[in-house]
Amino acid sequence: MPIKMIVGLQYGDEGKGRATHYEAKNASIVIRATGGSNAGHTVVANGKKYDMHLLPSAIIRPEVLSMIGPGVVADVKVLAEEIQKMRDAGVKVEKDNFVVSERTHVTLPHHKELDRLYEMLKENKVGTTGRGVGPTYEEKTRRTNIRMYDLFLEPNILKEKIAENLKVYNILVEAINKLIEEGIYQEEKFPIITAEEEYEYCMKYKGVIKEFIVDIYPILNKAIEKNELIIIEGAQSFWLDNDHGDYPMTTSSHPNASGTASGAGIGPTLIKEVIGVIKAYTSRVGNGPFITEQDNDIGNSIREWGHEYGTTTGRPRRIGWLDLVMVKHTKNTSGLTSLCVNHLDTIGKLDKILVCIGYKYKNQDINYVPIDKENCKPIYKELKGGWNTQNATTFEELPKEAKDYIQFIEEYTGVPVKYIGVGADEKRTIIREEV
Ligand code: GDP
Ligand code: MG
């Protein structure tokens, strides 16, 4: 049962895309399991850079079947445009290498308006990507949202469903627009949206995506029976998980390992490996607690060396030291079997590196993550940096300090580091087969 899962353990953007793309080389199926077009996964391969938002990171391997799972929410426009963009870049996106679950929920124009509306009302902004992902999950939970399957219904039936789903939005917008008129909120008014408009939106992009929409279970069953390698690609990250992360500064789906398995439709006992991806430091997009944040010259340097600007929004990412307490917390909560540590090249540019190994919390030293993270102050251990990974292709060839850094992560977390990223290009991945 060689089913492997790749999940993020920090705040997203750990390099899950590049890890997935690497692992996909022997896979028959790669399935994206959670999130929507708020995700941004970058893969540098064949001398080119590819940015994926909805498509699985394996799409650039034409021999692999890339799948969008039931746990994902997909904006039909973004999906259609991404397919086109990939085709324009010479990437094959055809029926035999790409499918979308008919259970995948559809993100619609009013969901993006709701993102703006909710952020406007909130005192404590989450800093969402504004792609309508949260509101899509909300209406999915309210059980009014439409799925890919619905795009094939009789036009009148589909319009009725869309109208039903739009009711709450339009009532809300009427009330909010009054408050905007009264000057209580300084924001552009929100549009009333009709079922006809959203129906037209769906039909406009259905042409491009309809051939990919299928029942994924028979395909998965066949691959499982044949013992083929399946990779489940996570999006976002453990600490953005709505159950286990920094609630309410979280994402609306469940990007922890169990939620990712559920989003793919594969049971936990079938999953042989859970590969947790981290950076050799920490980055965070959006608001929320960040115990090891370096809002200073060190953070600025790492941001420039690591090109830490969001794939989806272009926002500068917040930067901080590696927080091993946070990473260790995911060992059991995610059932990790190994780690992938990316950006070892980036952090090595510093001569002195700090790693967080505990917190000062309510006048005590602790080594777990309390619910009120914002009351923690970091306890650091200083490690030696100043390495250059340029010539290393194996773990043994890494400079001593770089090896020590990796070994420190292993000792602290109790999880072996199997993959090490020493550059953005797929070729700059060090694999430790012995791990
Ligand atoms: P994801 O959302 O987890 O897939 O990660 P992103 O792709 O959003 O962000 C990771 C960024 O770091 C991308 O720009 C990658 O190309 C880059 N990257 C990943 N691993 C490495 C690495 O080992 N070294 C360097 N220099 N860049 C890396
Ligand atoms: Mg990303």
Based on the domain organization, do 229 and 201 belong to the same domain?
Answer: no
Question: What's the pLDDT score for residue 1?
Answer: 52
How far away, in angstroms, is 13 Cα from ligand 2 center? 4
The enclosing H or E element of 92 equals none
Q: Which residue has a Cα nearest atom 10 of ligand 1?
A: 15
How far away, in angstroms, is 423 Cα from ligand 2 center? 16
Rounded to whole angstroms, how far apart are CA atoms 367 and 379? 9
In three-state secondary structure terms, 363 is: coil
**Count of domains observed in the chain:** 2
Q: Which residues contact 143 (CB under 8 A, 6 or more apart)?
A: none
Instruction: Indicate if 105 belongs to the active site.
Output: no
Based on the domain organization, do 314 and 393 belong to the same domain?
Answer: yes
Give this prediction's pTM.
Answer: 0.96
Q: What's the gap between Cα 231 and its chain centre? A: 15
**Burial track 249-288 (b if 16+ CB lie within 10 A, e otherwise):** bbbbbbbbbbbbbbbbbbeeeebebbbbbbbbbbbbbbeb
Q: Is 67 exposed, middle or buried (0-12, 13-18, 19+ CB in 10 A)?
A: buried
Identify the CATH number of the domain in which residue 119 sits.
Answer: 1.10.300.10
- The residue out of 180, 211, 242 marking a domain boundary is 211
Give per-residue pLDDT as tens, 131-157.
999 999 999 999 999 999 999 999 999
Q: Which residue has a Cα nearest atom 13 of ligand 1?
A: 42
Question: Which residues of 151-310 form beta strands (DSSP E)?
Answer: 213-214, 230-233, 271-279, 282-284
Question: What's the pLDDT score for residue 4?
Answer: 98
Question: What's the pLDDT score for residue 79?
Answer: 97
Identify the CATH number of the domain in which residue 273 sits.
Answer: 3.90.170.10
Structural domain including 158 reads: 105-211
φ and ψ at residue 271, rounded to 5 degrees: -90, 120
The enclosing H or E element of 158 equals helix 155-181
Instruction: Indicate if 111 belongs to the active site.
Output: no
Q: Which residues line ligand 1 (CB under 6 A)?
A: 8, 12-18, 40-42, 44, 306-307, 311, 342-343, 345-346, 421-424
How far away, in angstroms, is 251 Cα from ligand 1 center? 20
Which residue ranges of the chain lie beneath pLDDT 70?
Answer: 1
Rounded to whole angstroms, how far apart are CA atoms 303 and 295? 10
Would you put residue 288 in left (φ > 0), alpha (ψ -120 to 50) or beta? left
Question: What's the pLDDT score for residue 12?
Answer: 93
